[in-house]
Structure 1
Amino acid sequence: MRILIIGGKGTIGSVVTSHFEKTNDVLIAGRTSGDVTVDIADSKSIKAMFEKTGKLDAFICIAGEAKWGDFDDLTEEDYYVGLKSKLMGQVNLVRIGQNYLTANGSITLSTGILADDPVVKTTSAAMVNGAIHSFVKAVNLEIKNGIRVNVVSSGMVEAAYDKYKDYFPGHNPIPMTKVVNAYVRSVNGKGKGEIIRIYD
């Protein structure tokens, strides 16, 4: 398969990339480096990226920003960071990217446990993750050409435990093997409109 991984050099993305590139032709997209570059907050940049990649069998997004902060401190502009990047960035990837997929192609988006089990300082991030879950369920009712759209929603991964453990008291870090398998299930399985949760 010819697979594009957006955010393929990040904490999770690098591990997912290492798995898929063993048996597939993998392209990496990043904001400043990779086989192609993209700013997912800019739909023109997304279009330009797909023009460079050409036809794909699947693409995975493991990218997108959202502002963390105390609810009383978050401004309207702070919320727009997540709305523009993680939410509309992934919506636009589906909207534009569907035209560059082969028949029965696969799209995998990424969210996280905050959609279902938020912690303090995450009103913006939790809102965006929940919206993506709703989008994935709805878009599969209409997307054509046999394309499947799923989303992987993970808890705090082992690789990020030391950095974020204070935000997630009592949460079990998720082994990267479980996270990788969730992306494999989305890409290589037949599921459509699934929210693939790995929370424990």
Structure 2
Amino acid sequence: MKILIIGGHGTIGKKVVSHFQNENEIIIAGRSNGDITVDIADAKSIKTMFHQLGKLDAIICIAGEAKWAPFNDLTEDDYYIGLKSKLMGQVNLVRIGQDYLNSNGSITLSTGILADDPVVKTTSAAMVNGGIHSFVKAVALEIENGIRVNVVSSGVVEDAYDKYKDYFPGHNPIPMTKVINGYVRSVNGKGNGEIIRIYD
């Protein structure tokens, strides 16, 4: 398969790339580095990327920003960071990317445990993650050409646990192999409209 992985140089992305590149042609996209550059907060950038790449069999997004801050400190513009990047960025990857997928292709988005189990300073990030979950369930009812859309929602992964553990007291670090398998399930399985939760 020809698979585009957006965010393939990130903590999770590197491991997902390492798994899939054994048997597939992998293209890594990132905002500043990769085989091709893209800013998912900019629909024109997304269109340009897909136009350059041509037809694909699968799209995986492991990218997107949202502002973390106490609720009373978040401005309207702070919320728009997550809305433009992680939410509409991933929505636009589906909206635009469907036209560049071969029949029966797949799109896998990424969120996280905050959608279901938020912690302090995450009102923006939790809102965005929950919105993507609802979007995926709804778009699966209408997307055509046999295309499947799923989302992988993980807890704090082992490789980032030390960095984020103070935000997530009592949370268990998720083994990277479990997270990778979430993406494998989405790409190689038959599920559509699934929220693949990996929380323990």
Instruction: Name the TM tier (shorter chain).
Output: over 0.9
- Structure 1, unmatched stretches of 5+, are none
Q: Which residue of 2 aligns with 1:93?
A: 93
- Extract unaligned runs of 5+ from structure 2: none
1:5 positional shift: 0.1
Alignment RMSD: 0.3
Q: Which residue of the partner structure matches residue 127 of structure 1?
A: 127
Q: Which amino acid aligns with 1:62?
A: I
SS of equivalent residue, structure 1 residue 77 = helix
Give the CA deviation at 1:107.
0.2
Measured in 1, the distance between the counterparts of 2:52 and 2:37 equals 10
Measured in 2, the distance between the counterparts of 1:129 and 1:68 equals: 13
- In the alignment, structure 1 residue 28 sits paired with structure 2 residue 25: no
Verify: 1:173 aligned to 2:167, yes or no: no
1:155 Cα deviation (Å)?
Answer: 0.1
Count of paired positions: 200
Work out whether 1:84 is the aligned partner of 2:84. yes
Matched, 1:45 2:48: no
Shift of 1:53: 1.0
Matches within 5 A, 1:109-128: 109-128=109-128
In structure 2, the residue matched to 1:73 is: 73
Measure, in 1, the Cα distance between the counterparts of 2:161 and 2:195.
23
The CA deviation string for residues 140-189 of structure 1, in whole angstroms up to 9 with x for no partner, is 11100000000000000000001000000000000000000000000000
Between the aligned partners of 1:35 and 1:170, the Cα distance in structure 2 is 38
2:160 counterpart SS class: helix
Counterpart Cα distance in 2 of 1:116 and 1:122: 12
Q: Which amino acid aligns with 2:93?
A: L
- One-letter amino acid of the structure 2 residue matched with residue 59 of structure 1: I
The Cα offsets for residues 95-154 of structure 1, whole Å up to 9 and x where unpaired, read as: 000000000000000000000000000000000000000000000111000000000000
Partner of 2:60: 60
Deviation at 1:32, TM superposition (A): 1.0
Q: Does 1:6 align with 2:3?
A: no
State the AA in 2 paired with 1:118: P
Determine the structure 2 residue equivalent to 1:104: 104
Does residue 146 (structure 1) correspond to residue 153 (structure 2)? The answer is: no
The alignment partner of 1:151 has SS state of strand
Question: Structure 2 CA distance, aligned partners of 1:178 and 1:52?
Answer: 33
Instruction: Name the CA distance, whole Å, in 1 between partners of 2:33 and 2:54.
Output: 18
Counterparts of 2:105 and 2:118 in 1: how far apart (Å)? Answer: 32
* Structure 1 residue ranges, 4+ long, deviating more than 3 angstroms after superposition: none
What is the Cα deviation at residue 89 of structure 1? 0.1
Percent identity for Structure 1 against Structure 2: 82
